[in-house]
Amino acid sequence: MRRTIFTDEHEMFRAAFRQFVDKEIVPHHLQWETDGIVPRELFSAAGASGFLGTDVPEAYGGGGVEDFTYNLIIGEELQRAGTGGAGLGITLHNDICLPYFLSLCTDEQKERWLPGIVSGDLITAVAMTEPGIGSDLASMGTTAIRDGDAYVVNGSKTFITNGINADLVITAVKTDPTQRHKGMSLVILERGMEGFERGRNLEKVGLHSQDTAELFFTDVQVPVANLLGTEGQGFVHLVHNLPQERLSIAASAVAAAEAALGWTLEYVKDRTAFGQPVGAFQNSRFRLAELRTEIDIAQVFVDRCIEALNVGELTAEEAAEAKWWCTELQKRTVDTCVQLHGGYGYMLEYPIARAYTDARITTIYGGTTEIMKEIIGRSLGV
């Protein structure tokens, strides 16, 4: 299917990033899956090649191009190569964390942090979830109590992507514990702050090369200069940035489904059963036809959402629609593709098996399918 969202400049960028993935990620991916983490040098290499912060102003070392289509290409190429787990830290850094710094930082904070974010010397993470609260952010227990020129931060976070590697952690806290949403603020915790400890690198079902950690804060002295945005407006800031986060997840989900379908088409054309290719059976053709159709339809919607995001018109409801539908599609697709691979689809040496385990979290992180439907449902007045 022809996609009109890409220009010649986009395709040149795709070719360059594909070469980067094939050289810098693919040869090491399986080892990183075993290690449970990618080396920090991957971020430095990506930064040196111009693949971090394409939308950061040139004054801070970025590309100066406000076009999420470049982020889309990065996500698509990581999935094409079957390296979504290793690349998740990069998409989190570019798609999800960076917008907070671009939209909320003071000039002083931009000068302090943006060059390192672009170069890959400063790896970012966002810490919202806490043990026991799930999607109910207003119930968080992590506090940041003002004490002169510092906030004293106490509490913990869990399931934090880039949790081990991160140097700058956008942390949701309660600056006014007596309030719910209105008591929330965002502060930047930095590597090396006394009392800021990281727990173990959590063992997950999939995405094994992506470090995911618990974070613990005990009387951490965070300078007031590290407040991101306006005190008491943390929830508003989160809500403003969540649509792009959810669209990023949706776009990667469609790309993952596309990759899974591609691997499966190759397999069913070569694998024979009862004297003919597996793909020649009517059931196989019908299932593949269904996947081809659903992926194409999802891709059109995601491309439309990206066009809307680029001109500032993407709504929270549209992002929620894209997020839940595309991630559920990803799960259905890889499940069907494993089935069509037969027993080989259960072997981790095949990328479809790794894609199967990687896909399970996508309907949970960034807001569960149920929360996405709640957002959409409320907009309908019911």
Query: Model pTM?
Result: 0.95
Residues 221 and 271 occupy one common structural domain: no
- The predicted structure's pLDDT at residue 31: 96
Report the C-alpha gap between 99 and 120 in whole angstroms: 16
Return the CATH number at 13.
1.10.540.10
Residues 66 and 144 occupy one common structural domain: no
Specify if 369 maps to a domain: yes
Instruction: Name the DSSP letter for residue 364.
Output: T
Residues 146 and 111 occupy one common structural domain: no
Other C-beta atoms lying within 10 Å of the C-beta of residue 10: 16
Q: How many domains does one find in the chain?
A: 3
- The predicted structure's pLDDT at residue 304: 97
Specify if 305 maps to a domain: yes
Which residues are within 8 A (CB) of 194 and not within 5 positions of it... i.e. 6 or more apart?
220, 221
Specify if 84 maps to a domain: yes
- The predicted structure's pLDDT at residue 32: 97
Other C-beta atoms lying within 10 Å of the C-beta of residue 40: 15
Residues 372 and 242 occupy one common structural domain: yes
Report the C-alpha gap between 339 and 230 in whole angstroms: 51
- The predicted structure's pLDDT at residue 70: 97
- The predicted structure's pLDDT at residue 310: 97
C-alpha Rg value of the chain to the nearest Å: 21
Query: Which amino acids are annotated catalytic?
Result: 245
- The predicted structure's pLDDT at residue 139: 85
> Where in the sequence is the domain holding 77, given as residue range(s)?
8-122
Residues 224 and 240 occupy one common structural domain: no
Residues 131 and 206 occupy one common structural domain: yes
Q: Which portions of the chain are predicted below pLDDT 50?
A: none
Q: pLDDT for 250-290, tens place per residue?
A: 999 999 999 999 999 999 999 888 888 888 889 999 999 99
Domain boundary among 199, 230, 261: 230
Q: pLDDT for 79-119, tens place per residue?
A: 999 999 899 999 999 999 999 999 999 999 999 999 999 99
Domain boundary among 61, 96, 122: 122
- The predicted structure's pLDDT at residue 236: 95
Report the C-alpha gap between 224 and 44 in whole angstroms: 29
Residues 42 and 115 occupy one common structural domain: yes
